[in-house]
Amino acid sequence: MTEGTVHQLSISSGGVPKAPVRVAVVGELGIEGDDHEDTTHHGGPERALCLWSLEVIESLQADGHGIYPGAAGENVTVAGIPWERVTSGARLRLGEVEVEITRPATPCWKNRRWFADGDVSVMDHRRHPGRSRMYARVLTPGTIRPGDRVVLQVP
């Protein structure tokens, strides 16, 4: 069992970036108040939440990319979790909420503005395993706040 913390929670009325919020009420379809412009590729029970690692974001920043928490559309930015261990089937407890990772999130062209030369492939799981955002289904709804404990359970 590995522990970290919730760094930031983010929502938008559709599109990116998503703005930080102080509390997230999470149901089966994600955070209340969060919406998606493209429901073909985003949202639904298997993609209810999008999670990403603060350490991955900081690594990308160190490489000269303008990415920051919430910019790429993730709802939950976590800190202190070894991101390469967050794979399909892994479970995370985020405050009161429990989720199961379903799959990596494919990079969206709308995120080009955050990356040097518009190259979103730096967060593509197929090219850079352990650097992509991850989708999750909600197993236990509840409330999450920045600073809440995150517990990773890998199958």
* Residue bearing the bigger pLDDT, 35 or 113: 113
Rounded to two decimals, what is the model's pTM?
Answer: 0.94
Q: How far apart are CA 52 and CA 131, in angstroms?
A: 8
Could you tell me the residue ranges of all domains in the chain? Answer: 2-153
User: Alpha-carbon distance 28 to 140, whole Å?
Assistant: 8
Q: Confirm or reject CATH 2.40.33.20 for domain 2-153, answering yes or no.
A: yes
Instruction: Considering only residues 38 and 78, tell me which one the structure prediction assigns the higher pLDDT.
Output: 78
> 58: part of which helix (H) or strand (E)?
helix 54-62
Average pLDDT, the chain: 94
